[in-house]
Structure 1
């Protein structure tokens, strides 16, 4: 039987907290009462919008083993014996995260990159979980509270830990990788994401390179050999405690190289060379970007001492999560249409990848490829140009109709033939009825845009109006 996640003595040793007599043990950790499970420790984090202290009573009523609260707020809950009182709740969570990292014998991998962090993390979780108890970040918990929370949730019995680390400003990765202290650190790629906050792409490469500063001595740096900023990232790795740099990609010098990538409508096949040895495997998702990121998973698995053959076999079970390529069938009249949900977020690289995936869908006679696109944010002064440049990808991938939402999308609309533009509105809500009215049986529809554009509303409405069932196949003639 596994031991509790946290005991009173462990929490006190990590934080110096005052602990109420009603607390015995914590079996989990949470910062959100909506997802809190009985036995969880509830951390009353003060966020940008809400103060977690406002939900302490709800957490305790829902079965939290205790609430971690600040000294300042503790008097408000004087009647409870299930309080863990600390000077600062977020700092206490960081301290417990560091303590969880110190007590584990797990092999740890950290993943960052402009594109593909979450998908790569999920592929890593799948590959490693076949070979030992694996703990990984949930959703996109990759920031200043998500990383310490994930650490604090890590059971001491963990064999492999997988952490996603994100940033949108320089020096944000440094403290996070310092907490995680990975044995392997991966950079998927460097692209103009959050470029609004950087003087150039060099700055983004440098910010991503910060992940290597936390590497355990002798650890492994895994870098995309195809990326134009490879040498910049490699310099950061060589300046760190890394004992080895492993490269992946299609470049002839890559240690783990894709010789051929075959993209099918609902899966991909990779013919690779792994440190000189051939390996062919299937991935349960479509897209060149998924195939290339799978190479980084193999690189990390190798560095962690996992079985590469088992890791490669696991990729066949990989399915895209909601908002990141999930495929469902819509029932329209007597037929069906394919909906590809890419609504979680968007940047120029991921937008091109989504359009390529839509272009790979096999259609029957008279069916159409429809792209429903929202603004890509945080691109600064390059935004208008980067939106206009999507026109080439739309044309080359055989997209028939484009629905666009947002002011920046005007630049794309102006670059496309008028016949290709079905509608352009200010918001995703304004597009909903127009999209629903146009979709016909046999069509394939991709929805994508930055999170703030709320493109998920289009997905939600299509599913509600036409029903939705998961699909492992694409439309065929």
Structure 2
């Protein structure tokens, strides 16, 4: 068992949830709803999803869980019984937040870049003192209260990712966090099939993050987007102090230039009216504005500028979000850019632009391997076909594609730019050896659900 103070005692869980202890008192040093992730000392949350978590309580105790949060008594160990386990988790999240009033909390949402910006903020918080953040993309009705409930008492600053798939999801999650600073990275045509008014509805939903702001909180706004006024109006209704980032004069953080460099890029900017140049370990053009969003969030969370710049300089691309590898396969050596975690029209265009700016050796090509963008509703065909313009503007040489939606893009490309097309990512992955040659730079991108990662893994595996 860890030699540290417990994260939770059974008495605190009872107090937080109004539940009833069954069995002996216990202490927990962590918590999870996945019985396969249990480590000794954890609290097991018997949530109901595709399967009823109560079915896995015995195996959770066998793996070392010291207690469980349940709706009915279970065998194998002590538990706290509550009417509803998800409601109990939510109550624990609020209790955890309120028992640590000293913690400065930030919240991040946006159509693109949520996870990377959240983790870059976390990198700055870590350098400034004990910090806490969402792991993976724990940004929904389970992930947000779970992240709150996992927050150690010693935390000084924390940042939470907040996502959505449909209207009405962001505001309740923001109210759980009650952030002192909240940002919207950008707004674009993502999850639009759930919104009758399309992108305008997405903007209003993203702006709802400001409804949970703590009194006197800061709203960090992308001033370049078409719906900037929607964000600004929502933030001011919430009584927020507003700061903006973008490329236009008058922004608190203004991007002047983004210059790709060996191992990353250099950002040239103005921050609160003063010139500021700094390096990044990121090469994607979208990181110009992302980095300014991060700086404004860290400033609002009382992180010194030199600490924030150090964190940005060291922050590496996350898995599936721009990682670069040199692969030496049977046909020669090529560069692989893995952007396979997710995709939408905004991130596609940013990725094409970044790829187009990369120098290639003599004989090398700039190649994209694309799988379907999902959840675009009746705009899907137009948005897929519309990728042809950014591909052409970036001067990319070849497009390989998989999936019925990407076939619509493939069909409107000029013949010289068409590579391979397959019905599924798995079929394209099986032909990975034909997709790249010596000196090529290959970017793989697509929605998580369309399995772009299969192609990225197959290309990486050519290196043995």
Q: What band does the TM-score fall into relative to the shorter chain?
A: over 0.9
Shift in Å, 1:464: 2.6
Report the equivalent of 2:52.
51
Contact 1:23 1:81 in 2 (8 A): no
Report the equivalent of 2:187.
190
Report the equivalent of 2:33.
31
1:224 corresponds to 2:226: no
Secondary structure in structure 2 of the residue aligned to 1:293: helix
1:251-282 C-alpha deviation (Å, 9 max, x unpaired): 11101111221123641211121111222111
Match of 2:171 among 174, 179, 182: 174
Contact 2:110 2:186 in 1 (8 A): yes
Match of 1:262 among 232, 235, 259: 259
Q: Distance in 2 between matches of 1:122 and 1:80?
A: 37
Report the equivalent of 1:277.
274
1:190-233 C-alpha deviation (Å, 9 max, x unpaired): 11111111112221111011100000011111100111111111
Q: How many residues align?
A: 460
Report the equivalent of 2:63.
62
Report the equivalent of 1:116.
113
Contact 1:112 1:186 in 2 (8 A): yes
Secondary structure in structure 2 of the residue aligned to 1:466: coil
Shift in Å, 1:3: 2.4
Q: Distance in 2 between matches of 1:402 and 1:435?
A: 13
Report the equivalent of 2:81.
85
CA RMSD of aligned residues (A): 1.5
Shift in CA distance, 426/23, structure 1 to aligned 2, threshold 3 Å: farther
Q: Distance in 1 between matches of 2:214 and 2:52?
A: 35
Match of 1:452 among 442, 449, 458: 449
Contact 2:432 2:458 in 1 (8 A): no
Pairing of 1:51-450 with structure 2 (within 5 A): 51-71=52-72, 74=73, 77=74, 79-104=75-100, 105-198=102-195, 199-242=197-240, 244-264=241-261, 266-333=263-330, 335-450=332-447
Shift in Å, 1:334: 7.9
Secondary structure in structure 2 of the residue aligned to 1:186: strand
Instruction: Please say which of residues 246-255 and 54-63 is displaced more in the overlay.
Output: 54-63
Q: Distance in 2 between matches of 1:317 and 1:101?
A: 30
Q: Distance in 1 between matches of 2:77 and 2:369?
A: 53
Secondary structure in structure 2 of the residue aligned to 1:408: helix
1:354-413 C-alpha deviation (Å, 9 max, x unpaired): 222222222111111221101111111111111111112212223222111111112211
Secondary structure in structure 1 of the residue aligned to 2:37: coil
Q: Distance in 2 between matches of 1:426 and 1:336?
A: 27
Per the normalisation by structure 2, the TM-score is: 0.96
Shift in Å, 1:237: 0.4
In structure 1, the gaps of 5 or more residues are 468-477
Shift in Å, 1:135: 0.2
Contact 2:14 2:80 in 1 (8 A): no
Shift in Å, 1:156: 1.4
Secondary structure in structure 1 of the residue aligned to 2:399: strand
Shift in Å, 1:54: 2.4
Secondary structure in structure 2 of the residue aligned to 1:192: coil
Secondary structure in structure 1 of the residue aligned to 2:12: helix
1:81-116 C-alpha deviation (Å, 9 max, x unpaired): 322221111111000000001011110000001111
Shift in CA distance, 457/339, structure 1 to aligned 2, threshold 3 Å: same
Secondary structure in structure 1 of the residue aligned to 2:363: coil
Instruction: Please say which of residues 250-259 and 32-41 is displaced more in the overlay.
Output: 32-41
Contact 1:265 1:362 in 2 (8 A): no
Instruction: Please say which of residues 391-400 and 202-211 is displaced more in the overlay.
Output: 391-400
Per the normalisation by structure 1, the TM-score is: 0.93
Contact 2:23 2:77 in 1 (8 A): yes
Contact 1:402 1:423 in 2 (8 A): yes
Shift in Å, 1:335: 4.1
Shift in Å, 1:37: 2.1
